[in-house]
Amino acid sequence: MNPRLKPLAVILPLAFLSTVHAVEQTAPLGDVVVTATRQAQRSNEVLTDISVIDAAQIRAAGPNGTLNDLLVGQPGIEITRKGGLGTDSSIFIRGSNNNHALVLVDGLRLGSTTTGYPAWGFIPLEQVDRVEIIRGSCSALYGSDAIGGVIQIFTKRGEGPLRMFAETGFGSWNTQSQAAGFSGGTAGWRYNFQLSHKRSDAYSAINNPLNSSYNVDRDGYDVTSSSGGLAYTPAAGHEIGINYVYSDGWNRYDSSPKATDFKQAQTLYGVNLFSRNRLNSDWTSTIKIGQSADKSQQYANGNPTSQIESQQTQLQWQNDIALPIGTALLAAERVDQQVAGNVAYAVSTRYINSLLTGWHGNLGAHRGQVSLRRDENSQFGGKTTGTLAYGYQLSRDWRANAAYSTGFKAPTFNDLYWPGAGNPDLKPESSVNRELAVHYETERHHASATYYVNKISDLVAWAPNGIGLWFPANVAKAELTGWTLAYEGLFGDTRLTASLDLQDPRDIDNDKILRYRAQQIAKFGAAHNFGALTLGAELIASGKRYNDVANTQELGGYALLNINASYQVTRDWSVFARANNVFDKDYVQVANYATPGFNAFVGVRYTPQ
């Protein structure tokens, strides 16, 4: 860890927690989460660093946003984007790489096997009901790619009487958004369906006239999305069903030569069939089979160029077994990955067979979690990962926990086989993560301080091959250390959130900060209900970053203020508005690429009661 951060890291948790300790409340029950152990569990019993984004926060983010806009306000997360919505973006959890965050939709993988991450800009908020974020290695539960953490998206589900909604809005850059849907349940059935469309003229992705890709144009986007589900309960404890999410659209971007009109068409989908069966009072079996895909087609002046289709077919069988103390987990998985299109990969398919066992439970004031996973990859052979975590309830409101976990990341098809620039001899990246945390939690307040050290070896980076060419190689090591301080609480009708990340994501071999990562990030949010009117504000502040691995090109720090409001006009009708970067701050996330100035969006929502 950077020595300059250590004094602050020691003092701030104590000051922060002692302030919150003055508030006396009753002991909390906690929300139910599933990502931390793959089983339902109260959030105040979780032994990993977790955040939950609920439906109210998703609505406040606005229908013109994407998953990036939702995640950027969460602790431990940084985002960079190369232009407007739909353009290439990166999400860093605790300073780890973009492809070190595993993305799940309703329990199954969503992402590209060529890049290692999904098309973030094509995951629409209209289809999302809830998001759970785990910071820290989760390979022992989910396998490859979860070195930095897991982001699990839960799509909307139907229950209760028939409910409908519709909304439309308009904003800066001729941005337009429409969405509608319905959900409900009756006679053992539950169902839901949502459809949305959004478009924008946006702004030019590159703003530096001296850049070889500079083009004075508008790099807009257009996306149509849908999601839905249908499930049936033939008897108590048994349910079968299907869920899907689908997104299709395009975005323009700038590249070289600069006079060219570049466009990318993108299709992203995930679908799964499931059967959940309570075989007896202690044993529940869940079988899922699904498929996800990420397809892209590039165009230059309207002419098709590269086309790549990444696909993952997945099969899961999970068994949850109640024990006298805690709950056991036994699971088997199969993932078949393939890539197709007009790019000539030397190898285009691989498969992974996995076995997983785990346990979590409480014994008095003690809490424990153990998991062990074995992945057999058709390209790399076997890899075993594990997690060991322990927690202790210090008092009614105070608890502490510690965790040790190992992780790995298999190289992507691009790393291995991209024509003329792949390295088929690559090994998986490996990690060892340690963390300590203390929590203060009451019914209306939750504060936490987490310290972590995540060491990554065999990191894939570009390196010379000795004959004047550069290829991906296992040549780098990284150490991600830092503190995450987080708070959320209610004061009457006011909800407050705050977080401070003091991190040191460092390239060990060169003793440099990893590019695009800040060492200090602060976030603050507030929302207040004035009866029918709700007002909210978000402040995001980032320290300086570097645009290059040598740390010679400094990108200045910045602070952004966003505000939002909604007003319930009648029982069924409401209006909403959102303004981002209200002070029109000029800032840079990636050198040469434009960032959005002041922009606003207003709309109307119909939700018959």
Q: How confident is the model over 574-588, as a mean pLDDT? A: 96
Position 30 scores a pLDDT of 67
Contact predicate 91/109, CB 8 Å: no
> What's the chain's average pLDDT?
91
- φ, ψ of residue 463 to 5 degrees: the values are -150, 150
pLDDT at residue 463 in the model = 78
pLDDT of residue 86: 79
**pLDDT at residue 355 is higher than 90:** yes
Q: Letter for the amino acid at 294?
A: D
Q: How far is CA 158 from CA 5, 34, 126, 162, 246, in A?
A: 47, 19, 15, 8, 18
- Residue pLDDT, tens place only, 484-494: 999 999 999 99
Which of the four pLDDT bands, split at 50, 70 and 90, describes residue 520?
A: very high
**Looking at the predicted structure, is the pLDDT value of residue 162 above 50?**
yes
Spatial CA neighbour of 205 closest among 254, 257, 264: 254
In tens, the pLDDT along 527-580 reads 999 999 999 999 999 999 999 999 999 999 999 999 999 999 999 999 999 999
How big is the CA angle at 561 (ends 558 and 564), to the nearest 5 degrees? 155
The pLDDT assigned to 469 comes to 73
pLDDT the model gives residue 126: 81
For residue 439, give both structure tokens: 């929590």
CA 530 to chain centre: 32
Angle, alpha carbons 72-77-80 (nearest 5°)? 65
Candidate from 79-83, 184-188, 374-378, 573-577 with smallest mean pLDDT: 79-83
CA 152 centroid distance within chain: 7
CB 165 within 8 A of CB 607: yes
Find where tokens 């998986």 sit.
428
63 has a pLDDT exceeding 50: yes
Q: Return the domain boundaries, the chain.
A: 3-606
Q: Do residues 453 and 504 make contact, with C-beta atoms less than 8 angstroms apart?
A: no
pLDDT at 382 over 60: yes
Evaluate if residue 396 carries a pLDDT over 80: yes
CA angle 267, 58, 289 (to 5 degrees): 45
Architecture in CATH for domain 3-606? Beta Barrel (2.40)
Distance, in Å, from the CA atom of 140 to the CA atom of 117, rounded to the nearest integer, reads 19
pLDDT at 247 over 80: yes
pLDDT at 180: 96
- Residue 468 and residue 488: Cα distance in Å, rounded? 53
Percent of the chain with pLDDT over 70: 94
Rounded Cα gap, residues 96 and 463, in angstroms: 19
* pLDDT of 198 higher than 50: yes
What is the average pLDDT across 582-590?
A: 95
- How far apart, in Å, do the first and last CA atoms of the chain sit? 53
3-state secondary structure 447-513: EEEEEEEEEEEEEEEEEECCCCCEEEEEEEEEEEEEEEEEEEEEECCEEEEEEEEEEEEEECCCCEE
Residue 116 has pLDDT above 80, yes or no: yes
Residue 276 has pLDDT above 90, yes or no: yes
CA 153/CA 108 separation, integer angstroms: 10
Percentage with pLDDT > 90 across the chain: 80
Please give the Cα distance from 401 to 385 (Å, whole number): 20
- For the stretch 5-25, pLDDT in tens is 443 333 333 333 333 333 333
Asked whether 149 and 134 are in contact (CB, 8 A), the reply is: yes
SS (H, E, C) 72-102: CCCCCEEEEECCCCCCCEEEEECCCCHHHEE
Question: What per-residue string of b and e applies to 332-350 under the rule 16 or more CB within 10 Å gives b?
Answer: ebebebbbebebebeeeeb
* Six-digit token string for 214: 């500079």
Q: In the predicted model, is pLDDT for residue 108 greater than 90?
A: yes
Residue 376 banded pLDDT, cuts 50, 70, 90: very high
Closest CA to 397 of 18, 45, 22, 28: 28
pTM of the model: 0.92
| Average pLDDT for 194-203 | 94
- Counting other chains too, the contacts that 542-546 makes at CB distance below 8 Å and 24 or more residues apart are 542/78, 542/518, 543/518, 543/519, 544/518, 544/519, 545/513, 545/515, 545/516, 545/517, 545/518, 545/589, 546/512, 546/513, 546/515, 546/516
Percent helix, strand, coil in the chain, to 5, is: 10, 60, 35
Does a cis peptide bond (omega within 30 degrees of 0) precede residue 257? yes
Q: Are 231 and 240 in contact (CB under 8 A)?
A: yes
Average pLDDT of 208-223?
91
CB atoms within 10 A of CB 498: 18
Judge whether residue 66 has pLDDT over 80: no
